[in-house]
Amino acid sequence: MKVSRSRALFSRAVELLPGGVDSPVRAFTSVGAAPLFIKRAAGARLEDADGNVFIDYVMSWGPLIHGHAPPGLVKALCAAARRGTSYGAPCHLEVDLGERVRRLMPSLERLRFVSSGTEAAMSAIRVARAATRRDKIIKFEGCYHGHADPFLVQAGSGALTLGVPTSPGVTAAAAADTLLASYNDLESVHRVFAANRGRIAALIVEPIAGNMGVVPPADGFLPGLREACSTHGAVLIFDEVISGFRAASGGAQGLFKIHPDLTCLGKIIGGGLPVGAYGGRTDLMNLVSPVGPVYQAGTLSGNPLAMTAGLWGLERLTPSMYRALAALGTRLAAGLASAAREARVSLQVNAFGSVLTPFFTDRPVRDYRSATRADSTKYATFFRGMILRGVYPPPSQFEGWFLSAAHTAKDVDKTISAARAAMREVASAG
């Protein structure tokens, strides 16, 4: 595989950007390789600077449920740009997208658009603290809620991959207000509440964990969280930055019929442009400025291009699309599992609809501890084998693989044949 152009770009980039990247998960550090620089993308395909073409399973880490650059979206964005790229004043697109989000997720009685999932989660916590006049929050080991200080305690995604459970630069005081519980372990939640009576403002959770690899909620886990928060007067925050519009058009909350107090959204809601949103109960959201005293603002919030992309994508979420995506997810999960069996490699595939993670371990993965038992070295060998065969999986063991409406059964079958060969390499590497 020719990589000279990517290498040349990377050597310029490392002299400029820390690690040559603008987000650590892109760096290929944990798979022992140098990142490929992407030139263009369309449908389910990425093309790098050297002209290598890949079936993409990163899909920008989740937003691109309709694939890369669908022609209708590109047309809508060009038309929107001709009307102006930012107004610094309200526009009808914010109202249109907001109403559509509320129809899909009725728990968001009021919402505020921001520019990233990080912003959504940090703002939701601020509202919860203001509403309860309490300081502490509960989060789960291995769940990721963006890179704001209160969340960089046993966070997933890049923080997990790089083994930096608590980032330097986060003050001891900020970390002390973040209490940890174990995902899928209600007892651990009850213990934290019991030890901190009257002091917990909020519990934040990815209802379907995606940032320690995919870990679905066990039966009773989400209803148990709802009940514990109601009992203790804490705000239940669902971080649906991945699961919103991915698990189902109504998100995990629609699927599992749980009514959170606040919800964080990102990724698909922006259709590939920078957008986030947080929202929920009217009494909570009315604390936000200018109605209430909780300050939160953004120069580019509700940006017309971003709203256009979000609206275009949300208007095209159909039951048949979710059925087709789930069928592809099942096909890919089964194919990866059988490729591993044939090569006598231990693999657990966790799948939820169109997102899945193949964990290189022989034991079921249901929380942070069992996820981190997976063998990253084997994953790295597997990853490199896939790249050489024209498939671009996430460059880390602890991430989800994302399917899109642009992926076909043929793409998935090609991916499975590549996996058969890559699994043999994993087996022979020992």
Ligand X SMILES: *Cc1c(COP(=O)(O)O)cnc(C)c1O
Instruction: Please report, as ranges, the residues that interact with ligand X according to CB under 6 A.
Output: 116-118, 121, 144-146, 206, 210-211, 239, 241-242, 266, 276
**Cβ of residue 137: shortest distance to ligand X, in angstroms?**
14
The one catalytic residue among 48, 56, 139, 144: 144
The sign of the torsion formed by the CA atoms of 21, 26, 28, 33 equals negative
Catalytic residue list contains 136: no
Radius of gyration for the chain, computed over Cα atoms and rounded to the nearest angstrom: 21
d(CA 223, CA 329): 26
User: How near is the Cβ of 408 to ligand X at its closest, in Å?
Assistant: 26
Q: At residue 45, what are phi and psi to the nearest 5 degrees?
A: -115, 140
In the complex, the smallest distance separating the C-beta of residue 391 from ligand X, rounded to whole angstroms, is 22
Whether 144 is catalytic is yes
Whole-number minimum distance, CB 20 to ligand X, in Å?
19
Pick 385 or 400: Cβ nearer ligand X: 400
| 135 CB-contact burial (10 Å; exposed 0-12 / middle 13-18 / buried 19+) | middle
Q: Which is nearer to ligand X, 52 or 161 (CB)?
A: 161
Q: Is 239 a catalytic residue?
A: yes
User: Catalytic pick from 57, 136, 177, 267?
Assistant: 267
Q: Which is nearer to ligand X, 52 or 396 (CB)?
A: 396
Q: How far is CA 254 from CA 69, 148, 154, 251, in A?
A: 28, 27, 28, 5
Residue number with the shortest CB distance to ligand X? 117
Is the Cβ of residue 132 or residue 211 nearer to ligand X in the bound state?
A: 211
**Residues contacting 33, CB < 8 A, separation 6+:** 380, 383, 384, 387, 395
Min CB(291)–ligand X separation in Å: 25
| Shortest separation between residue 381's beta carbon and ligand X, angstroms | 26
Q: At which residue do the structure tokens 């979000």 appear?
A: 310
Alpha helices in 233-281 (DSSP H): 251-255
What whole-number distance in Å separates Cα of residue 72 and Cα of residue 93? 17
At residue 48, φ and ψ (nearest 5 deg) are -90, 180
Residue closer to ligand X (CB basis): 134 or 145 = 145
Q: Between residues 30 and 118, which has the closer beta carbon with respect to ligand X?
A: 118
| Start-to-end C-alpha separation, the chain | 24
Amino acid at 69: A
Residues assigned a catalytic role: 144, 239, 267
